[in-house]
Amino acid sequence: MLEIRDLHVEVDGKPILKGIDLTIRAGEVHAVMGPNGSGKSTLSHVLAGREGYTVTRGSVTFEGKDLLEMAPEIRAREGIFLAFQYPVEIPGVNNTYFLKAAVNAGRKHRGLEELDAMDFMQLVREKMKVVKMKDDLLKRSVNEGFSGGEKKRNEIFQMAMLEPKLAILDETDSGLDIDALKIVADGVNSLRSPERSMLVVTHYQRLLEYIVPDQVHVLAGGRIVKSGDRTLALELERHGYGWIEQQGVTAA
Amino acid sequence: MSARAGAATAVPGGAQAAVEHYLGEHTRSAGSLPGAGTAWLRELREQGIERFADLGFPSTRDEHWRYTSVAPIAAQRLRVALPAPVPAPEALAPFLFPGLDAHRLVFVNGRYAAELSAPGSLPDGVHLDSLAQVLAAAPERARPALSGLALRTGFDALHQAFLADGVWLELAAGVALARPVHLVHLGVGAAEPALANLRTVISLGARAEARVIESFGSLGSGAGLTTAVTTVVLAEGAALEHFKLQEEAATVDHVARVEVRQGRDSRYTSHSVSLGGGITRNDITSTLEGEGAECTLNGLYMAAGRQHVDFHTTIDHAEPRGTSRELYKGILGGRARGVFNGRILVQPGAQKTDSQQSSQNLLLSREAEVDTKPELEIYADDVKCSHGATVGQLDADMLFYLRSRGIDHGTAQGFLTRGFAQDVIDRMSIDAVRERLERLVVTHVPGPESAQVSP
């Protein structure tokens, strides 16, 4: 589904990613872990198409198509979803109105009929259960005045509505207490399917107790220095990132 | 527009030519204007044209017109609009607010059009009529209200010289008008650019309450100038919510003045929305003459292409315990230019005045420009006055967030622009007005091709 080959990315002329190789097949959940400044967020943002990042070498293909050529909205319509680490508050833009436009943009792209107001609201009610969203959040402006937990739930709710092929969760656990974390993780797990892949980017192992990955990659200094199964996350937890950096040096 | 601008600079000594033209128009039209047989009204119009001969059009050397050149208007030889054929009722539809149940008066080229109007039944104590009708039936009644206007600029003078028709709304003490009054002013294109004048006189007795919506629109593509003068007098405890929606064609210029006098504990709320017009100038002045009066001025202007929109507001706190709240938002694309000048005057003795002003502007292109200026003059020491002004672009993080959900750039820009305008619209109390404005705001967002122009 997603193939990243030798990806090099700079921000303001400074190299951040220095040769990433990663393959995610349909239905797989991959976790990318790493210390602060290792390039985790850069990887998420480059995949979603945020401006300000320069790809200097390498390629990313998504279902055989060149992802890096696509505008952010086209990536989204093709099936990529980024759950933001810091969801943006957008005053004056109604949550439901925004979501309807997003859902219908995707449907149109896939040659499906746009949903009318009634069908859309039915879908909303069904998907709200996934993350136990409160009704009144729908009537508010996008993320405005939402608590940290509500914002993250809203991200997963949007994911449920948009039904992406590849979901990228950028530090979705940050700022969540354990109860909120469980709700969000349950929501994500309910969206796991043989057709849907996920890339879970996180600093802590904790999230991976709830969203169990097929593979874990450790990112350090802009490179993937170690890959393994879920036990790698537990080892990291025990030894800390210092351990992996030493390993990285040895491996290099 | 560019052709007109060229003409303006090409006529040296044009001022004298303009004066002669309007003297001629005055002679030509004097006998056919409403109330032509009434001596004081004839004199009032003569005062107007004489004053215009003295003043001419304002120039950018005048501090109040520094950022707004009216040379393109001065270069035109406007014909005083004569009664035009009344368009079919369907033509009115685009300017109505679906679902609005209102007392409706319609004016075409500045003259009352009974065929299109639906004043409905009015409660006792409410006098709503066309000004021409009042001038025909009881001219003396209108005399004090029409005679008191200070002619500060050539536009005021022209307005008075060709004073013809407009609206008379008077509420007796204690009367609350449940349904709003909707005044629709339509300009119908003619072969020559036309001058349409509208005078609105609103007077609310003690504790009376009303809501008035003024709409300005164009049919066809004729050019011209609309001058509108609205005077409002609010007695003790009276309340007026005053809406204005200006959506005339870009070939029509619009110069308007609102003068409000507020009695003790009265409330005046203005929502002024400017979307259309070539050069648009609005002067809104409220004087808080009684203690404890409240004045709220909300405004929204959207301009694209080469549109120019200028709001000059003055809130004059003359007595103690007055409250004023002012929020103006501007959205400018293309090569449009916006001006906001917000004057707050707190007179000696107007203690416990509480005043807040905010001017916020969104620039959607590199060539768009805005000049925003607060002007605070405070001569009392126990007051709370705050003001703030911002000018910015669309937030890149918000744009990316919307696009990352599949929404294209142009639509995302529309959402954010509407979002920016939303809190001004939210302050309006009439659902039907809010709903139509929300749609209008979206259609008036300068498109991606006229926004984001590369250097």
Cβ-proximal residues to A41 (8 Å cutoff; 6+ apart), any chain = A85, A170, A171, A201
- Cβ proximity of B344 and B377 under 8 Å: yes
pLDDT of residue B7: 38
Task: Note whether A126 and A161 are within 8 A (CB).
Answer: no
Q: Cβ–Cβ of A102/B405 closer than 8 Å?
A: yes
Q: Give the range among A8-22, A87-101, A187-201, B11-25 with minimum mean pLDDT.
A: B11-25
Helix (H) or strand (E) holding A138: helix A136-139
Checking if the pLDDT of A52 tops 90, the result is yes
pLDDT at A214 over 90: yes
Q: For residue B16, give every residue at least 6 positions away whose Cβ sits within 8 Å of its Cβ, in sequence order, or none.
A: none
What value does the mean pLDDT take over residues A50-77? 96
Q: What is the CATH number of the domain that holds A10?
A: 3.40.50.300
Query: How far apart (Å, rounded) are the C-alpha atoms in residues B112 and B325?
Result: 34
* Per-residue model confidence as pLDDT tens digits over A98-141: 999 999 999 999 999 999 999 999 999 999 988 888 888 888 99
pLDDT at B83: 74
CA-CA-CA-CA dihedral for B56, B57, B60, B61, to nearest 10: 20
**Measured between alpha carbons, how far is B317 from B260 in angstroms, rounded to an integer?**
12
Q: Measured between beta carbons, which residues in chain B are less than 8 angstroms from residue A162?
A: 405-406
Mutate which: B329, B398, B407, vs A, most A CBs within 10 A? B407
User: Please, which residues have CB within 8 angstroms of residue B179's CB and are 6 or more apart in sequence?
Assistant: B101, B102, B103, B120
Q: Which residues of A touch B (CB under 8 A)?
A: 48-51, 71-73, 75-77, 81-82, 84, 87-88, 90-93, 97-99, 101-102, 105-106, 109, 141-142, 158, 162
Q: Mention every residue, 6+ apart, whose C-beta is less than 8 A from residue B177.
A: B103, B122, B123, B126, B171, B208, B209, B210, B211
Which residue has tokens 């043989």? A194
Q: Does B398 touch chain A (CB under 8 A)?
A: yes
ipTM (interface predicted TM) = 0.95
Report pLDDT for B6.
37
How many domains are contained in chain A?
Answer: 1
Q: Are B405 and A158 a contacting pair at CB < 8 A? A: yes
Strands B103-108 and B111-112: antiparallel
The predicted model gives A28-42 an average pLDDT of 91
Whether residue B406 and residue A91 make contact (CB cut-off 8 A), yes or no, is no
Q: Do B418 and A51 touch (CB under 8 A)?
A: no
Contact B404 A73 (CB under 8 A): yes
Who has greater pLDDT, A203 or A84? A84
Range of the domain at A241: 2-251
User: CA of B455, closest CA in chain A: separation in Å?
Assistant: 18
Q: Taking residues A223-240, what's their average pLDDT?
A: 87
Cβ B412 vs Cβ B403: under 8 Å: yes
CB contact under 8 A, A73 and B422: no
Cβ contact, residue pair A105, B420, below 8 Å: no
According to the model, what pLDDT value does residue B452 have?
37
The DSSP code for B118 is B
Report the candidate in B361, B363, B367, B416 with the shortest Cα–Cα distance to residue B390. Answer: B361
Cβ-based contacts of A92 with chain B (< 8 Å): 418-423
CA A15 to chain CA centroid, Å, is: 22
Q: What is the pLDDT of residue B4?
A: 40
SS3 B12: coil
Helix, strand, coil percent values for chain A (each to nearest 5):
40, 30, 30
Of all residues in chain A, the one with the smallest CA distance to B424 is A92
Chain B segment 415-434 residues within 8 A of A by beta carbon are 415-416, 418-423
Number of residues assigned to chain A: 252
Nearest to A101 among B400, B409, B411 (CB): B411
**Nearest neighbour of A73 by CB, restricted to B396, B406, B420:** B406
The pair of structure tokens assigned to B234 is 């609010």
Query: Residue A246: which H helix or E strand, with range?
Result: helix A241-251
Q: What is the mean pLDDT of residues A176-188?
A: 89
pLDDT by residue for chain B (455 residues), tens only, comes to 333 433 344 334 567 888 999 999 999 988 889 988 899 999 999 999 999 999 999 999 999 999 999 999 999 999 987 777 889 999 999 999 999 999 999 999 999 999 999 999 999 999 999 999 999 999 999 999 999 899 999 999 999 999 999 999 999 999 999 999 999 999 988 778 899 999 999 999 999 999 999 999 999 877 899 999 999 999 999 999 999 999 999 999 999 999 999 999 999 999 999 999 999 999 999 999 999 999 999 999 999 999 999 999 999 999 999 999 999 999 999 999 999 999 999 999 999 999 999 999 999 999 999 999 999 999 999 999 999 999 999 999 999 999 999 999 989 998 999 999 999 999 999 999 999 999 998 888 765 444 333 32
CA Rg value for chain B: 22
